[in-house]
Amino acid sequence: MGFPKIAYRALEDVVGPEFVSSDPSICIAYSRGGYGTGIYDRGKKLPGCVILPKDTEEIQTIVRIADRYKIPYIPVSTYFIGFCTPLRSNTLMIHLRRMNRLEIDEKNMSALVQPYVSYSQLQIEAMKRGLFTCATMAGAQISVLANHISFGQGQLTHRLGIGSRRILGMEWVLPNGEVLKTGSVGIPGAGYFWGEGPGPDLRGMVRGYSSNLGGLGIITQIAVKLFPLPKPCVPEPQGITPRTTFALSPDTFRWYMINYPTPEACVNAMYEISKAEIGAVVMRTPSLWRNIRKATSKEEFWNLYETDKVKIEQSKPNVIRVLLIGFASPKQTDYEERVLKDIAEETGGSLRRVPDTGSADCFQPSYTNCAFRPGGLFISTKLGYDSIDHALIYLKEGMKIKRAFMPPLLDDKEECGWICSYDFGHHAHGEITSYYELSEENSAKVLEFEKQCILQDLEMKAFMGFQYGAYHDFTGPRMGDYHLLLKKIKMALDQNDLSNPGRFVMIDPKKEDKDSYYSLMNRD
Amino acid sequence: MTLENYRYDATYCPRCSNCKWIDHVYMKSSRFAMICPSSARYLFDTYSAQGRMDLALALLDGHLGWGPKVLDAIYKCTLCGACDTMCKRNIDLEILEVLKGLREKVFEERKELKTHRSMVKGIKRYDNPWSRPRGVKTGWREGFSVKNVKEGAAVLFYAGCLPEGEPQYRLPRLALKILTEAHIDLGVLGTEEKCCGSLSYQVGERDVSLDIIRKNIETFNGLGIEELVTSCSMCYGMFKAVYPAYGKLNFKVSHVVEYIDRLIQDGRLRFNKTLDLKVTYHDPCHLGRLGESYVHWEGKRTEFGRLVPPKEFRRGTFGIYEPPRNILRSIPGLELVEMERIKENAWCCGAGGGVKAAYEDFALWTASERLEEVKSLGVDGLVTCCPHCEQNLSDAAKHNGAKIKIHDILDLVWAGLNGMEV
């Protein structure tokens, strides 16, 4: 059965024939995601229709039409992650491509963004005004809005904190078509300046790796906090692809690597750096990242990997990367450097200044997809957001599981994983990145690896590091039935289960879900 | 190479959207942040490289039929190579080869657009895409004495197929006048000059294109020349990046801007007139991103998709970017102001890939976007060095009533040498 004609005509009336299509050749481009291919897009369906609304009013009408004809829909913007792939037949893809409003309030250091504003667009316009945003490591091409509402990961979070807390109000089209405004914008005429209130602050309801994911309606615009650049000018770009970067002044920007014998020593140093309240980026990076970053091609990566792996196995390097930024003045950079040197010495680390080739990374991260270089695909497991200590424990345990899955996962000789500090070490993001090739057999093993990680988290009472709602029915009953609360939220806002069904929480598993990721996760 | 050969590249597209944006580090504004004209104009993801990867897989696996929208999505693309360059900042996927493979598949299945079919017929019958009599290829040198290369010459000047009556018809004549002024030992092929095959190759007609390529290689190699020089960027791109895949060339290939730049550096060409002009420069795709030398590779993919032996990738960064800029900078009085999107980040003029022939409105829209970018610079003119770019940008300027003057670089070189009005 094709997409209902009556609904299609109604949608055409809203946006005009140019901006809606149910042609399979148009729909097919919305039938998969890139990240987690073969895993998160299992059981995927060809969408029934794609629509390109231009504003909030059109989205309200579209959502109401979907509700009237019981059509599942998925809001998508820059579309990187497989969670946007439809699990239901005849899904309507609401591509927010035309929603690209960007307004910067220079005086109040904030920016109003719609879903199709990329980090690179916001960053360049902000920089021209002496401001900047904390870009996600997922890449400068990523939607500012999507990243901020889901979590707001970034390198500079050690200094600037989690992105979702930097939201200064949201405009949200609920599944019934009504508009909900949060934070200060909830008060008529107040504008976007405060996330907490005086209107409702519902940022927590949409935030999280395994939360909203377009399952509670469509957030059409948000305001985000900006920060003053240490030197109010756009840095000079330099280099040619695949090595382009900004020329940043060493007076103000300095990168360091500190090598430790163990992950525990890394964590200890991260705490010391945090206590001293220095640094803009502080993170423990997996050894393999160095090879990924250094290589300019897959083959170069493999050469480096083959050369380094014995060395890595023997010396087991544990590296933290630190970026110092003299936000106030070059004197601050000098001061922080002296403190960092002292900390490195006191904690038994071997510190060295590293070239600033990656200096653009924290502003316009354009190298991120190098993560696809080693194996063609990658997946992140054990995604947690708790303390630095906590990350160390669950990542180390996770690596023990991972070793049993090499192959098909690339043997990265890693003993911990990636730990990124937030808010001067008050909390941290942890993650294990794994690289694989696409095949039925490999996907099944990667799924099993992920499942074992979840079971281990449950057993350890660790942060539940999974990325979308397929696990809630499995983990909820083992964790105080929290999943029932999520289902209540979903039912309150989207009782017909039409907004990205199956990704937030599964309300009513359908027959067609039998091959999906959800079913595979809940089979036992 | 067929589409099937690039299945890996289509499969492993990570849908990251980098194919749509210019290199983020080089971005100057949110207004001119996009790089794919097709995606920027038609918005649906099918009209971007990532969507076309999905189309390719669906067609290969028989999950999609040949509907009009499929052809629309395949051919509303200028094949400018921007997506390929941007993808290769991170992942070495041969995106452009997939796009070319899709077009070859269209012709294999005999589903080509009527416009392209008649264009290819014209090339076969008249040896030019304009379906004009063969003699038209020599009209540009009427009243101008130049020897036939077969009489012996170090340099073959290749004029390319230019439509008679169009302003671009002047370009080979201008190029010859400039090179003659520098006493270069050159000759032309005259009526024996065959089409380079660029347009048939771009729309995907493999048999006709390969026939042209092989015959031309044989002819050129038999001339005993040291160098082939052309004033057309599309021809240049063919000779430089495509021909060597089908046969060894016993001569060097240069665009006339490279040659003139060398003459200036060697002191063999000196500007003696001042041009009081402020201009900007548009990088033609076939001279820039698509103008890198062909690099041969034969091998296979192994574990984790590794290429054995390793492949040297062409990332669009070593195209001809500096020579035209060097020339402009050396003209006394002329001020060169750069646009936001330049070199490998340049926005296409909109003429390539068979778009000008099949989708004039899209070609004009793309050129208009480029003219918008020029607007804010306050320049007197836009300079390029490709007749196709010049034509399409001029058409767009005329269509929009824009006051900007579009020059070929040869106009300015000639004016700088002889003081003619530009």
| DSSP per position, A132-173 | E----TT-TTSBHHHHHHHT---TTHHHH--GGGGEEEEEEE
| The predicted structure's pLDDT at residue B313 | 93
User: B-chain residues within 8 Å CB-CB of A118?
Assistant: 21, 24, 33
Rounded to whole angstroms, the Cα distance separating A412 from A313 reads 10
| The predicted structure's pLDDT at residue A233 | 80
CB A379 within 8 A of CB A412: no
Chain A (19-78) residues lying within 8 Å, Cβ to Cβ, of chain B: 19, 21, 23-26, 28-35, 37, 50, 52, 78
Closest residue in B to A358 (Cα–Cα):
B25
Residue A447: its H or E element:
helix A440-460
Lowest mean pLDDT among A377-381, B48-52, B123-127: B123-127
Mean predicted confidence (pLDDT) in B262-267: 95
| The predicted structure's pLDDT at residue A514 | 64
HSE value, Cβ hemisphere, 13 Å, CA-based, for B107: 23
- Class for the domain spanning B115-265: alpha beta
Mean predicted confidence (pLDDT) in B3-10: 95
The percent of residues above 90 in pLDDT, for chain A, comes to: 65
User: A-chain residues within 8 Å CB-CB of B30?
Assistant: 102, 117, 121-122, 124-125
> What phi and psi values does residue B260 have, to the nearest 5 degrees?
-65, -40
Mean predicted confidence (pLDDT) in A176-197: 93
pLDDT digits (tens, 9 = 90+) for A275-295: 999 999 999 999 898 888 889
Asked whether the predicted pLDDT for residue A364 surpasses 60, the reply is yes
CATH 3.40.50, chain B: domain bounds: 115-265
Rounded to whole angstroms, the Cα distance separating A519 from B254 reads 60
Asked whether the predicted pLDDT for residue B163 surpasses 70, the reply is no
Instruction: Please name the member of B24, B85, B305 whose beta carbon is closest to the beta carbon of A120.
Output: B24
User: A-chain residues within 8 Å CB-CB of B85?
Assistant: 241
Instruction: Please name the member of B29, B43, B315 whose beta carbon is closest to the beta carbon of A242.
Output: B315
| The predicted structure's pLDDT at residue B28 | 96
Instruction: Please name the member of B12, B306, B315 whose beta carbon is closest to the beta carbon of A241.
Output: B315
Mean predicted confidence (pLDDT) in A146-167: 91
Asked whether the predicted pLDDT for residue A40 surpasses 90, the reply is no
Asked whether the predicted pLDDT for residue B367 surpasses 80, the reply is yes
CB B240 within 8 A of CB B286: no
Chain B (337-356) residues lying within 8 Å, Cβ to Cβ, of chain A: 344
> Which is more confident, B162 or B79?
B79
Asked whether the predicted pLDDT for residue A250 surpasses 70, the reply is yes
Q: Where are the beta strands (DSSP E) in A277-376?
A: 281-285, 318-325, 350-354
| The predicted structure's pLDDT at residue B230 | 96
Asked whether the predicted pLDDT for residue A524 surpasses 90, the reply is no
- Give yes or no for A124 touching B (CB within 8 A): yes
| The predicted structure's pLDDT at residue A196 | 92
Rounded to whole angstroms, the Cα distance separating B278 from B274 reads 12
Chain A (127-156) residues lying within 8 Å, Cβ to Cβ, of chain B: 128, 139-141
To the nearest whole number, what is the mean pLDDT of chain A? 91
Closest residue in A to B54 (Cα–Cα):
A29
> Which is more confident, B385 or A249?
B385
Mean predicted confidence (pLDDT) in B136-163: 82
Burial class (CB in 10 A: 0-12, 13-18, 19+), A307: exposed
Q: Is A211 helix (H, G, I), strand (E, B) or coil?
A: coil
Could A300 and B27 be called an inter-chain contact, meaning their C-beta atoms sit closer than 8 Å?
A: no
pLDDT digits (tens, 9 = 90+) for B287-315: 999 999 999 999 999 999 999 999 999 99
pTM listed for this prediction: 0.95
Please report which confidence band the pLDDT of residue B135 belongs to, taking 50, 70 and 90 as the band edges.
low
The percent of residues above 90 in pLDDT, for chain B, comes to: 83
Q: Cα distance from A426 to chain B (closest Cα, Å)?
A: 31
Tokens matching residue A314: 């023997």
| The predicted structure's pLDDT at residue B134 | 61
Residue owning tokens 């895949």: B245
- Give yes or no for B307 touching A (CB within 8 A): yes
Lowest mean pLDDT among A428-442, B38-52, B124-138, B190-204: B124-138
Cβ contacts of A408 within 8 Å, gap of 6 or more: A436, A437, A439, A441, A442, A445, A446
Closest residue in A to B343 (Cα–Cα):
A240
Asked whether the predicted pLDDT for residue B316 surpasses 80, the reply is yes
| The predicted structure's pLDDT at residue A515 | 64
CB B192 within 8 A of CB B137: no
- Give yes or no for A304 touching B (CB within 8 A): no
Residue A95: its H or E element:
strand A92-95
Mean predicted confidence (pLDDT) in A245-274: 94
CB B230 within 8 A of CB B160: yes
Could you tell me the sign of the dihedral formed by the alpha carbons of B140, B146, B152, B157, in that order? negative
Could B64 and A245 be called an inter-chain contact, meaning their C-beta atoms sit closer than 8 Å?
A: no
From residue B181, alpha-carbon distances to A109, A373, B268, B270 in Å are 60, 52, 9, 10
- Give yes or no for B166 touching A (CB within 8 A): no
- Give yes or no for A443 touching B (CB within 8 A): no
Mean predicted confidence (pLDDT) in A235-245: 87
> What phi and psi values does residue A247 have, to the nearest 5 degrees?
-90, 110
Tokens matching residue A64: 């109401």
Chain B (29-88) residues lying within 8 Å, Cβ to Cβ, of chain A: 29-30, 33, 43-46, 48, 50-51, 54-55, 58, 63-64, 67, 69-70, 73, 85-86, 88
Asked whether the predicted pLDDT for residue A523 surpasses 60, the reply is no
For residue B197, give the nearest of B207, B205, B209 by alpha carbon.
B209
Asked whether the predicted pLDDT for residue B393 surpasses 70, the reply is yes
Could A125 and B29 be called an inter-chain contact, meaning their C-beta atoms sit closer than 8 Å?
A: yes
Could A241 and B67 be called an inter-chain contact, meaning their C-beta atoms sit closer than 8 Å?
A: no
To the nearest whole number, what is the mean pLDDT of chain B? 93
Please report which confidence band the pLDDT of residue A260 belongs to, taking 50, 70 and 90 as the band edges.
very high
User: A-chain residues within 8 Å CB-CB of B303?
Assistant: 437
Q: Cα distance from B323 to chain A (closest Cα, Å)?
A: 17
Q: Which residues of A248-280 are buried (b: 16+ CB within 10 A; e: fewer)?
A: bbeebbbbbbbbbeebebbbbbbbbbbeeebbb
Lowest mean pLDDT among A47-51, A92-96, A308-312, A495-499: A308-312
Tokens matching residue B222: 């038999």
Could B344 and A299 be called an inter-chain contact, meaning their C-beta atoms sit closer than 8 Å?
A: no
Q: Cα distance from B241 to chain A (closest Cα, Å)?
A: 19
> What phi and psi values does residue A270 have, to the nearest 5 degrees?
-60, -40
The percent of residues above 70 in pLDDT, for chain A, comes to: 96
| The predicted structure's pLDDT at residue B137 | 61
Could B51 and A121 be called an inter-chain contact, meaning their C-beta atoms sit closer than 8 Å?
A: no
Please report which confidence band the pLDDT of residue A207 belongs to, taking 50, 70 and 90 as the band edges.
confident
Mean predicted confidence (pLDDT) in B65-74: 94
Mean predicted confidence (pLDDT) in A307-324: 89
- DSSP state, residue A35: B
| The predicted structure's pLDDT at residue A358 | 64
Please report which confidence band the pLDDT of residue A481 belongs to, taking 50, 70 and 90 as the band edges.
very high
Asked whether the predicted pLDDT for residue A316 surpasses 90, the reply is no
Q: Cα distance from B56 to chain A (closest Cα, Å)?
A: 10
Q: Cα distance from B312 to chain A (closest Cα, Å)?
A: 9
Asked whether the predicted pLDDT for residue B318 surpasses 60, the reply is yes
Q: Is A332 helix (H, G, I), strand (E, B) or coil?
A: helix
Mean predicted confidence (pLDDT) in A211-235: 91
From residue A3, alpha-carbon distances to A49, A74, A384, B66 in Å are 7, 15, 39, 20
HSE value, Cβ hemisphere, 13 Å, CA-based, for A415: 14
HSE value, Cβ hemisphere, 13 Å, CA-based, for A64: 11
In this structure, the dihedral spanned by the alpha carbons of residues B201, B203, B208 and B213, taken in order and rounded to 10 degrees, is -10
Cβ-based neighbour number of residue B302 at 10 Å? 10
Could B89 and A410 be called an inter-chain contact, meaning their C-beta atoms sit closer than 8 Å?
A: no
Task: Please give the biggest Cα pair distance in chain B.
Answer: 64
Mean predicted confidence (pLDDT) in A446-467: 89
Tokens matching residue A320: 């933290």
Tokens matching residue A1: 């059965």
| The predicted structure's pLDDT at residue A522 | 61
Asked whether the predicted pLDDT for residue A119 surpasses 70, the reply is yes
> Which is more confident, A327 or A42?
A327
Please report which confidence band the pLDDT of residue A150 belongs to, taking 50, 70 and 90 as the band edges.
confident
Asked whether the predicted pLDDT for residue B142 surpasses 90, the reply is no
Closest residue in A to B50 (Cα–Cα):
A29
ipTM for the complex shown: 0.94
Tokens matching residue B262: 């060398």
Could you tell me the sign of the dihedral formed by the alpha carbons of B168, B173, B179, B181, in that order? negative
Asked whether the predicted pLDDT for residue A474 surpasses 70, the reply is yes
Please report which confidence band the pLDDT of residue B146 belongs to, taking 50, 70 and 90 as the band edges.
confident
Select from B9, B13, B19, B25 the residue whose CB has the most chain A CBs within 10 Å, as the one to mutate to test that interface. B25
Closest residue in B to A143 (Cα–Cα):
B17
Count of A–B CB contacts within 8 Å? 184
> Which is more confident, A81 or B213?
B213
> Which is more confident, A465 or A158?
A158
Could A35 and B14 be called an inter-chain contact, meaning their C-beta atoms sit closer than 8 Å?
A: yes
User: B-chain residues within 8 Å CB-CB of A376?
Assistant: 12, 304-305
Residue owning tokens 């942060």: A463
